[in-house]
């Protein structure tokens, strides 16, 4: 069996020509005790049209990440990992957020778009169990990165755009791609975690607005539960939820008619929430 082992974007790659397969293993997490994080080997089939980036019968793999064309012209190629193929090879419920954030993409935004799509798929399926696990992992990693905490704090102080969007008013319904392009400014030193700002911009607010547009009250209640779960998870780890997240939780409770839950959360956080409530009530009045 013709086998070669190398490294592709911090993943161990095992090329098996006889099986026409490449097996990947995330070596950074292989010895981790946290079983919530996906760390199993996964395989990509090498299609005949070279969709995975290799023509295995004509190329000879040269570790760590090069291939030599053996068909006669001697060309040398650097192998790159396809995020799309990587995700197609991993179960949709597996938490791949840490794995994706450790990749070396050409654009920070591209990785976050893949994460957004993965989240949206679980939201459409109503898979709260998987999403809760994902939020636990995201918060655990977020709390260990001081730069991410400082980034969210600066966003609170410098911009009202996120707080405005969290009211879910029609006037703030901006196309998701425009939001990603114009408002997502992910610093390099926070690229390995998802900040509160990113989760709101990329997932919680767009998914909530989509449910409103479609008149899907059941999904809107699902988003209410998901946003509240994120807020609770942050507080459980002694982190402060940003004002926009608090505002979104209140807005979703109000829109879905969960009066008892709304009174409960306001009673528990009355002092902290008063300024946000004044802003939200003013926005609704103006509408």
Taking the C-alpha atoms of residue 187 and residue 173, their distance in angstroms, rounded to an integer, is 25
Which two structure tokens, joined as six digits, stand for 210?
């989509």
Same domain, 234 and 277: yes
pLDDT along the chain (287 residues), means of 10: 73 77 74 73 58 54 74 74 81 89 72 91 96 96 87 71 83 52 61 89 93 94 97 94 92 90 74 53 51
Same domain, 202 and 148: yes
Same domain, 11 and 70: yes
Domain boundary among 88, 117, 134: 88
For residue 12, the cross-strand partners are 7, 25
Same domain, 64 and 116: no
Same domain, 110 and 231: yes
Q: What is the pLDDT of residue 153?
A: 80
Q: What is the pLDDT of residue 4?
A: 74
Is 76 in a helix, a strand, or coil?
A: strand
Q: What is the pLDDT of residue 275?
A: 53
Q: What is the pLDDT of residue 286?
A: 47
Taking the C-alpha atoms of residue 16 and residue 240, their distance in angstroms, rounded to an integer, is 49
Q: What is the pLDDT of residue 135?
A: 97
User: 203 with 120: CB under 8 angstroms?
Assistant: yes
Pick the closest to residue 177 from 116, 119, 124 (CA basis): 116
Structural domain count, the chain: 2
Which two structure tokens, joined as six digits, stand for 83?
């995020």
Q: What is the pLDDT of residue 57?
A: 57
* Domain that residue 266 falls in: 97-286
> Considering Cα of 215, then 219, then 221, then 223, what sign does the dihedral take?
negative
Location of structure tokens 């004002």: 243
Same domain, 105 and 84: no
Domain boundary among 56, 88, 120: 88
Cα separation values, 210 from 198, 200, 204, Å: 17, 14, 10
Q: What is the pLDDT of residue 137?
A: 94
pTM for the predicted model, two decimal places: 0.77
Give the DSSP letter string of 253-264: HHHTT-HHHHHH
């Amino acid at each position: 069996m013709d086998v070669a082992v190398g490294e592709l974007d911090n993943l161990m790659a095992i090329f098996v020509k006889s099986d026409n397969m490449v097996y990947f293993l995330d070596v950074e997490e292989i010895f981790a005790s946290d079983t919530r994080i996906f760390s199993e080997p996964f395989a990509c089939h090498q299609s005949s049209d070279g969709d995975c980036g290799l023509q295995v019968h004509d190329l000879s793999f040269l570790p760590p990440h090069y291939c030599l064309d053996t068909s006669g012209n001697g060309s040398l190629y650097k192998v790159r990992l396809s995020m799309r193929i990587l995700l197609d090879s991993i179960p949709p419920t597996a938490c791949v957020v840490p794995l994706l954030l450790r990749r070396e993409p050409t654009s920070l935004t591209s990785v976050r778009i893949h994460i957004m799509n993965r989240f949206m798929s679980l939201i459409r399926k109503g898979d709260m169990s998987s999403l809760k696990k994902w939020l636990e992992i995201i918060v655990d990693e977020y709390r260990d990165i001081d730069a991410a905490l400082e980034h969210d704090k600066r966003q609170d102080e410098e911009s009202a755009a996120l707080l405005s969007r969290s009211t879910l008013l029609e006037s703030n319904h901006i196309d998701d791609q425009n939001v990603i392009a114009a408002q997502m400014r992910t610093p390099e030193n926070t690229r390995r975690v998802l900040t509160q700002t990113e989760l709101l911009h990329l997932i919680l607010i767009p998914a909530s607005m989509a449910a409103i547009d479609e008149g899907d009250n059941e999904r809107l209640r699902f988003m209410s539960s998901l946003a509240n779960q994120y807020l609770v998870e942050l507080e459980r780890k002694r982190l402060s939820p940003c004002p926009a997240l608090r505002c979104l939780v209140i807005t979703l409770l109000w829109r879905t008619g969960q009066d008892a839950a709304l009174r409960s959360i306001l009673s528990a956080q009355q002092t902290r929430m008063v300024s946000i409530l004044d802003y939200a009530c003013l926005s609704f009045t103006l509408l």
